[in-house]
Amino acid sequence: METLEEAELCFPQLLNSSCRKNMRPHSLSLLIHILLPSISLLTVTLNLLVIISISHFRQLHTPTNLLLFSLAVSDSLVGPLLFFQIVVIDGCWFLGDLMCTLYTVLSYIIASASIGTMVLIAVDRYVAICDPLHYPHKVTQKRVQVCVCLCWIFSIFLNSLMLKNNLEQPVRYNSCLGECVIFINYTAGLLDIFLSFIGPVTVIIVLYMRVFVVAVSQARAMRSQIASLHLKCSVTVTAKKSEMKAARTLGVVIVVFLLCICPYYCVVLTGQDTLFNASSAAFVICLFYFNSCLNPVIYAFFYPWFRKSIKLIVTLKILQPGSCQTNML
């Protein structure tokens, strides 16, 4: 009969070298094992809808939608990683040291590419709103393709370099069997925090605040101009709605993004061993990944063409000849 000590071990047959499980109430464990796969499936499904929509319908082949496509690709890859997160939350890694390293490296690369693409989207919206006359010439399909490729190449190069020691010796930092530990030195950790958090968040907030100010000023200018033509009442309502819509949309983008990623980097900066237990650390990681599930809603679901494309995909009309030429706007 299995003893209590053996039940708490990842590998009961190896009493002296096995790691211990994270013991938690059965109800909480059951909730985690239901919630994470559900979020994973939803993340993959929503992002696949974005990918299919943008890639199939030719009218959606625009520079901005190409950025949404890149974001959806990175976010759809986050979905499968959440399945592995179930193993990490339990505190026992049964998939081997090589898979542990690959899982971590892919997590870093995908997260970096996703955040980098969000910065590109912020730049795209900044140019579109603040310099609309030159936007078609500055933001072309080819330039966006180059930027997206560079974003992914940079993410792969930076994270592979940062995790080089872990790739060369996967078991180097494990203290027991069933552990998945990745070590990042102090300098590399600071560089990662700056490039993956401080830098992108600063750029996004500054650009979006600038976009918000310009959008509000443009709405007020339109209201003043048309008010002089004795149409003040109807235009005032329209202008106010425009201001509120800009404020609401940009507010959702900034707040949701920060709410999802800030807790994770707060743990990284303060040290989870001193302020958080294993379950809390796992929660902030899952929250970080959950942003990938929300991105399709924030960046794509508000677009009318996305709702229209969902109907065409669900009803299988997308399989009809010439469906790629459908008017989506």
* 174, pLDDT greater than 70: no
**37-51, 60-74, 237-251 — which is least confidently predicted?**
237-251
* 253, pLDDT greater than 80: no
Read off the pLDDT of each residue in 117-121 and give the average, rounded to a whole number.
87
Domains of the chain plus CATH, in order, are 36-48+57-325 (1.20.1070.10)
Query: Among 220, 286, 289, 302, which Cα is nearest to 253's?
Result: 302
Cα 201 to Cα 85, 116, 194, 262, 302: the distances in Å are 25, 10, 10, 10, 22
What is the reported pLDDT for 1? Answer: 41
What is the reported pLDDT for 99? Answer: 81
Query: Rounded to a whole number, what is the largest CA-CA distance in the chain?
Result: 88
Cα–Cα distance measured from residue 54 to residue 21, given in angstroms and rounded to the nearest whole number: 44
What is the reported pLDDT for 208? Answer: 81
Read off the pLDDT of each residue in 149-154 and give the average, rounded to a whole number.
94
Non-local (6+) Cβ contacts of 244 within 8 A are: none
What is the reported pLDDT for 148? Answer: 95
Query: Among 257, 277, 258, which Cα is nearest to 267's?
Result: 277
Type of residue at 12: P
| Tens-place pLDDT, residues 21-37 | 666 666 767 777 788 88
* 2, pLDDT greater than 50: no
Non-local (6+) Cβ contacts of 317 within 8 A are: 311, 323
Query: Among 75, 167, 57, 63, which Cα is nearest to 112's?
Result: 75
Cα–Cα distance measured from residue 256 to residue 296, given in angstroms and rounded to the nearest whole number: 12
Read off the pLDDT of each residue in 282-304 and give the average, rounded to a whole number.
76
* 145, pLDDT greater than 90: yes
What is the reported pTM? 0.81
Beta bridge partners of 9: 20
Type of residue at 227: A
| Tens-place pLDDT, residues 187-239 | 777 788 888 888 888 898 888 888 878 777 766 766 666 555 544 445 444 54
Question: Which phi-psi region, left, alpha or beta, contains residue 140 (left: φ > 0; alpha: ψ -120 to 50)?
Answer: beta
